[in-house]
Amino acid sequence: MPINKLLLCSPNLVAAFIGSSLANAGRNSQILVCQPGASSWSVRAYDKCKLFEDMAFYRGKLYALTHDENLLVVNISQDPNTGDPQISQIGQVIKDDPTWSSVLIPDDDDTSTTDKKKLYLVESCGVLLMVRRKVCCRVVGKTVVAGQNEFEVFKADLENSRWVNVTTLGDDQIVFLGRPCSKAVSASQYGMPGDQIFFLDDVMENNKEYAYEEETTSVSVYDMRSAEVSSPLPMAWKHEMISATWLFPLD
């Protein structure tokens, strides 16, 4: 099974989640942990598998986000015999948002419209954020054509176990979203306007599920103030090529 995300949480802990992120394969999704350089992973094989969308290491704890927007905390302990990290318990800290729904709406005899959802976890200014990306799609026969992107941002209120909608990232914050890696940075540090989300068409399921209205770039920017999407880096790129990813300088 493919590794969807790999996190170096600390010098003694590496975490990953594996399995297809396609909905019909979601029951194969699992979280793994190990020490750097270890020859094997630790997994709670008897846990009920979930469709994981993302995970993040935040304030010394590992959090995982499911497709139905449940935020889970993954408690790590040490194997008493080997000293290796192991998952001792997975608990729910925020319940899903019941307001989300994806409905297939017929337009005419040949086409209909629907929305596809992608979720990301990222820390920004000491706050854990869930970014909900809605891809507006046209369904033509058996082909799903991905079009306009819309975004909503929520902060994790861990004390009250809820998601809180936020309308701004802040004037000095930029968030880069990607399936292998997401990160928030200071806009002024790089001389860029803030309150923007840079995102990639980087998810391998796109090659299987979607066709695209635009085939010119894998990089787009969503402006939180205007709710508009633009393409800052025109380039020759096709979705059948290898997935794009972000490369960040060392802090």
For residue range 52-88, list pLDDT tens digits in order.
889 999 999 999 999 889 999 999 999 888 889 999 9
- Going from the C-alpha of 50 to that of each of 64, 69, 70, 129, the distances in angstroms are 10, 11, 10, 20
Q: Do 157 and 217 share a structural domain?
A: yes
Q: Do 225 and 124 share a structural domain?
A: yes
The pLDDT value given to residue 25: 45
Mean pLDDT value of segment 89-116: 71
Evaluate whether 89 touches 75 at the Cβ level (below 8 Å).
Answer: yes
Mean pLDDT, rounded, of the chain: 81
Q: Do 196 and 117 share a structural domain?
A: yes
Q: Do 140 and 90 share a structural domain?
A: no
Evaluate whether 114 touches 139 at the Cβ level (below 8 Å).
Answer: yes
Evaluate whether 223 touches 199 at the Cβ level (below 8 Å).
Answer: no
More confident site: 239 or 123: 123
**Is the predicted pLDDT of residue 95 greater than 60, yes or no?**
yes
Strands 219-223 and 228-230: antiparallel
The pLDDT value given to residue 239: 53
Mean pLDDT value of segment 32-42: 90
Domain annotation covers residue 238: no
Residue type, 230: S
Number of domains in the chain: 2
In degrees to the nearest 10, what's the CA dihedral of 209, 248, 165, 105? -10
Evaluate whether 42 touches 92 at the Cβ level (below 8 Å).
Answer: no
Domain annotation covers residue 164: yes
pLDDT band at 23 (very low <50, low <70, confident <90, very high): very low
Q: Which of 48, 75, 94 is the last residue of a domain?
A: 94
**Is the predicted pLDDT of residue 109 greater than 90, yes or no?**
no
Range of the domain at 70: 3-94
Q: Token digits for 137?
A: 């799609």
pLDDT-above-90 percentage for the chain: 44
Q: Do 164 and 112 share a structural domain?
A: yes
Range name among 88-97, 138-147, 184-193 with the lowest pLDDT average: 138-147
Bridge partners (DSSP) of residue 78 are 85
Q: Do 111 and 78 share a structural domain?
A: no
Q: Which of 37, 66, 94 is the last residue of a domain?
A: 94
The pLDDT value given to residue 208: 47
Sequential DSSP letters for 97-165: -TT-----EE-SSSEEEEEEEEEEEEEETTEEEEEEEEEEEEEETTEEEEEEEEEEEEEEETTTTEEEE
The pLDDT value given to residue 102: 58
Q: Do 142 and 90 share a structural domain?
A: no
Q: 3-class DSSP state for residue 242?
A: coil
pLDDT digits (tens, 9 = 90+) for 196-213: 999 987 544 444 455 555
pLDDT band at 168 (very low <50, low <70, confident <90, very high): very high
Q: Do 141 and 76 share a structural domain?
A: no
